[in-house]
Amino acid sequence: MTLIQKIGLGIFIIGLLIFTASLGLDKYELSADSLSISNEYHAAEILEVAEQEGMLGQTYSSSFDFISAFKGVLKKAQTSLNTKAKENGVPEGVGEWDYKMGDWVLKDYILFTTKKSATGPVSNNPALFLFLSIGLGIIGGLIYIFPKFKLFPGIKNDRIYHRPMTKGIQFSVRSFFLLATTVGILLYGVYYMGNEYFWPALTAVVALLIIAIIWFVEDQRKRQPARSASVDFSGWLGILTGAYLIGFYVLLYWKAEYITPWMIIADPLSLSLSGNEASQWFLYGTLYTVIVLVMGVRMFTKYMHNRYQLIRTGSVMFFQTAIAFLLPEILVRLNYPYYDFKNIWPLNYTFFFDWNIQNLVNSGGLGIFMLGWGIALVVLGVPLITYFYGKRWYCSWVCGCGGLAETLGDPYRQLSDKSLNAWKIERWIIHLVLVFAVIMTMGVLYSFLPKEGAWFNQRTFLGLMIVLLLGAMSFVYLRWRKDRFNFSTLGILAGWAVTLILVGVSAYHLGTGDGKFLFMSSGVTRQWYGFLIGAGFAGVVGTGFYPLMGNRVWCRFGCPLAAYLGLVQKFKSRFRITTNGGQCISCGNCSTYCEMGIDVRWYAQRGQDIVRSSCVGCGICSAVCPRGVLRLENSAMDVNTRATELRALHITEEEVSII
């Protein structure tokens, strides 16, 4: 590390410390002004209660004290409004819930009131703190990165496994983290769902089932997935980073009221872009974009010699900055709906939600275009472009999650688990998430439909679904019998089981006409999906586990869009990674640096092309191979026989030949 780099690192750390410390610098004081509540009944009641409780005008030194006091006030105000409504009735012409205070409004009341009630250095000088935290972070990061442009172009993986930041952690520690996080999320899920046990319990049961299948049916118990874990505890910096990220996501998704100072810091930027104050999502978007950009520059230094990497990294930087971050804010400023043109269902699981569709439909021509665009991407864009170029066009060129993984996550790519076990687990989870996403969305669409009447009603929907499900599964089954699809017998059986359950339940609803969908109301299903998959999996585990399990935890195990893209890639795409004859020396660089945990070497050393549904086409395996063995290629010549060992060196019954 040069002196300049040390200075850069120092500045970055100062920025990070100020950013973290800014959460505790302000004091909080509730006043009539800081109460960010537009509902007059609620506001008046809360003020009154606050007055009685002596909260008004009192200064709290931490957000914890303030929020707990304010929660007490809200509870009291809620009860007293309820009693009033019971005794006197709701005032003339006012809706029940415009008068009474529902539980669902509390979250926003707390969040925005806390934000407004802050006084002190941060809220008085948001721009200064923006500079001192995120600004210094950027400057320090770039100062640290820039000198690397002077190094020789070439592979720069020296000492990755010697650094406490990137060497990974022991298998048992990793498992502990994963278990603790999963159990924590499930327990919190019970609370989040309003003490409903059904969904958390169902998730736990499914998780146990997957483990049971892998352990007992597929008999993998003894096969320790040790291929991604460090041997000792020396990867402490990675553990700290992981813990910081996990903490960040937990606060962001579920306890945003404790990070209001960060929202305040982001206010100046938000105001100048969309004219609105910053929400926690704007703050997140800003950080996300800044990180993709700065770490993208780092990618440039690391792969100076590899133009594929340079262009690809440029592409994710562009899509994140322009399409995901700036454009939606500008749309909002122009009074159009917030829309990220590159976000595709089912990754963008809210796309078919009623509020989104209504919002789009109500926004005139552009809104309708957005709706059409979103649907076209799902039904045409994904299969077509994936046919031509493989899923990489999205996963490592466009997608925001992919963009973060390829920039911030690059230093951790070697930590992905390459064991066969991990691959098995991956296939179960990711396809189940896809099924879950589809079912949830169908439930949502179903709830739009009339029960009876119109030509397309809930009954036609169910009927159509039964036919389609049976048809699709039979198709897969027949192709599988003909050996065209490479699934295990267990996989096919599981497919049939899921299909038959869905068909059975749908037939039941069709018979009774009870207006439900798979026994569930779509509201609860979607709430749980958002909590578990949208926040818990994609955020907390997906990114928080970068330093623990590699940078594509979400993309590999959880993303339903990746599952969809992967199916196309596996079964109908021109894309593959070709292997250069007999040049492979089995060194293992390719497997080690494959972020998707694909054992690339397994194929390369046999001279076999690599066709794997999970491959995101990042091209790193090809870049790090010291013998020039791998190339990402597209060709329609042999789409159905891409992965044969045809081009390996081999011996046949008849002769020894080198093909």
Partner 1 sequence: MHIAIIGNGISGITAARFIRKLSDHQVTVISAESKYFFSRTALMYIYMGHMREVDTQPYEPWFWEKNRIGLVQDYVKEVDTQGKALHFTKQEPLKYDKLIIACGSKPNKFGWPGQDLKGVGGLYSLQDLQAMEEGSEGLQRAVIVGGGLIGIEMAEMFHSRNIPVTLLVREKSYWNMVLPKEESEMVNRHIKEHHIDLRLETELKEIVDDGTGKACAVITNKGERIDCGYVGLTAGVSPNIAYLKDTGIETQKGILVNDYLETNIPDIYAIGDCAQLREPRPGRRPIEAVWYTGRMMGETLAYTICKKPVAYDPGIWFNSAKFLDIEYQVYGDIQSKAPENHAAVYWEHKDGRKSVRIVYDKNSGAVLGFNLMGVRYRHEVCEKWLAEQTPIEKVLTNLGLANFDPEFYDEYEQDILAIYNQQAGKNLILKKRRGLSRALEFLQKTGSA
Binding interface with ligand SF4 (CB under 6 A):
577, 584-590, 594-596, 598, 600-601, 604-605, 610, 615-621, 625, 627, 629-630
Pick from partner 1, ligand SF4, none: which does 620 bind, CB < 5 to 8 A by kind? Answer: ligand SF4
Contact 413, 168 (CB under 8 A): no
Under the binding rule (CB under 8 A), the answer on residue 513 touching partner 1 is no
**The two three-digit tokens of residue 502, written as one number:** 């869905």
Give the residue with the Cβ less far from partner 1, 561 or 629: 629
Under the binding rule (CB under 8 A), the answer on residue 159 touching partner 1 is yes
Give the pairing of strands 630-634 and 575-579.
Answer: antiparallel
Residue 456: how many other CB atoms lie within 10 Å: 11
Pick from partner 1, ligand SF4, none: which does 634 bind, CB < 5 to 8 A by kind? Answer: partner 1
The residue written with tokens 């690059």 in the block is: 410
Alpha-carbon torsion (529, 530, 533, 536), positive or negative: negative
**Rounded distance, CA 340 to CA 329, Å?**
10
3-state class of 141 per DSSP? helix
Stretch that binds partner 1, among 56-64, 365-373, 463-471, 650-658 (CB under 8 A): 650-658
Under the binding rule (CB under 8 A), the answer on residue 619 touching partner 1 is yes
CB of residue 637 to ligand SF4, shortest distance in Å: 20
Pick from partner 1, ligand SF4, none: which does 231 bind, CB < 5 to 8 A by kind? Answer: partner 1
**The two three-digit tokens of residue 275, written as one number:** 């004219």
Phi-psi region of 550 (alpha: psi -120 to 50; beta: other; left: phi over 0): left
Give the residue with the Cβ less far from ligand SF4, 134 or 598: 598
CB of residue 435 to ligand SF4, shortest distance in Å: 24
Among 431, 552, 601, 612, binds partner 1 (CB under 8 A): 601
Pick from ligand SF4, partner 1, none: which does 483 bind, CB < 5 to 8 A by kind? Answer: none
**Rounded distance, CA 333 to CA 435, Å?**
37
Under the binding rule (CB under 8 A), the answer on residue 150 touching partner 1 is no
Give the residue with the Cβ less far from ligand SF4, 257 or 595: 595
Among 78, 114, 241, 306, binds partner 1 (CB under 8 A): 306
Pick from ligand SF4, partner 1, none: which does 405 bind, CB < 5 to 8 A by kind? Answer: none
Secondary-structure breakdown of the chain: helix, strand, coil percentages, each rounded to the nearest 5: 65, 5, 30
Give the residue with the Cβ less far from partner 1, 171 or 341: 171
How many binding residues for partner 1 (CB under 8 A)? Answer: 63
Under the binding rule (CB under 8 A), the answer on residue 87 touching partner 1 is no
Pick from partner 1, ligand SF4, none: which does 594 bind, CB < 5 to 8 A by kind? Answer: ligand SF4
CB of residue 414 to ligand SF4, shortest distance in Å: 11
**The two three-digit tokens of residue 628, written as one number:** 């020039």
Give the residue with the Cβ less far from ligand SF4, 532 or 562: 562
**The two three-digit tokens of residue 519, written as one number:** 């026994």
CB of residue 347 to ligand SF4, shortest distance in Å: 18
CB of residue 601 to partner 1, shortest distance in Å: 6
Under the binding rule (CB under 8 A), the answer on residue 334 touching partner 1 is no
Burial label for 582, CB within 10 Å (0-12, 13-18, 19+), is middle
Among 9, 85, 155, 507, binds partner 1 (CB under 8 A): 155
Of residues 268, 265, 320, 323, the one with CA closest to residue 294: 320
Under the binding rule (CB under 8 A), the answer on residue 152 touching partner 1 is yes
Among 230, 289, 320, 348, binds partner 1 (CB under 8 A): 230
Distance, first Cα to last Cα, the chain: 48
3-state class of 13 per DSSP? helix
**Rounded distance, CA 270 to CA 286, Å?**
9
Pick from ligand SF4, partner 1, none: which does 104 bind, CB < 5 to 8 A by kind? Answer: none
**The two three-digit tokens of residue 211, written as one number:** 């483990």
Pick from partner 1, ligand SF4, none: which does 657 bind, CB < 5 to 8 A by kind? Answer: partner 1
Stretch that binds partner 1, among 190-198, 246-254, 375-383, 648-656 (CB under 8 A): 648-656
CB of residue 431 to ligand SF4, shortest distance in Å: 18
Exposure letters 323-345 (e unless 16+ CB within 10 A, then b):
bbbebbbebbeeebbebbbbbbb
CB of residue 609 to ligand SF4, shortest distance in Å: 11
3-state class of 581 per DSSP? coil
Stretch that binds partner 1, among 249-257, 475-483, 487-495, 631-639 (CB under 8 A): 631-639
**Rounded distance, CA 69 to CA 67, Å?**
5
**The two three-digit tokens of residue 448, written as one number:** 């739009």
- Helix (H) or strand (E) holding 577, with range, is strand 575-579
Give the residue with the Cβ less far from ligand SF4, 266 or 555: 555
Among 75, 86, 305, 572, binds partner 1 (CB under 8 A): 305
CB of residue 647 to ligand SF4, shortest distance in Å: 14
Under the binding rule (CB under 8 A), the answer on residue 3 touching partner 1 is no
**Rounded distance, CA 138 to CA 129, Å?**
13
Stretch that binds partner 1, among 93-101, 125-133, 355-363, 630-638 (CB under 8 A): 630-638
Q: 553: which DSSP letter?
A: H
Q: Give the CA distances from residue 72 to residues 58, 66, 67, in Å, rounded to whole numbers and listed in that order.
A: 15, 10, 8
Residues 100-139 vs partner 1: string with x where CB under 8 A? ----------------------------------------
At 200, the amino acid letter reads P
Under the binding rule (CB under 8 A), the answer on residue 148 touching partner 1 is no
**Rounded distance, CA 394 to CA 469, Å?**
27
CB of residue 601 to ligand SF4, shortest distance in Å: 4
Give the residue with the Cβ less far from ligand SF4, 348 or 605: 605
**Nearest 5°: CA angle at 576, between 571 and 581?**
130
Give the residue with the Cβ less far from ligand SF4, 113 or 592: 592
Q: Give the CA distances from residue 558 to residues 89, 100, 543, 555, 633, in Å, rounded to whole numbers and listed in that order.
A: 49, 39, 12, 6, 26
Q: 320: which DSSP letter?
A: I
Rg of the Cα trace of the chain?
27
Residues 534-573 vs partner 1: string with x where CB under 8 A? ----------------------------------------
Contact 559, 347 (CB under 8 A): yes
Contact 28, 64 (CB under 8 A): no
Of residues 467, 462, 487, 490, the one with CA closest to residue 476: 487
Residues 410-449 vs partner 1: string with x where CB under 8 A? ----x----xx-----------------------------
Binding residues vs partner 1 (CB under 8 A): 152-155, 157-163, 222-223, 226-227, 230-231, 305-308, 311, 414, 419-420, 578, 580-583, 585-589, 591-592, 601-602, 605, 619, 622-623, 626-628, 631-638, 647, 649-651, 653, 656-659
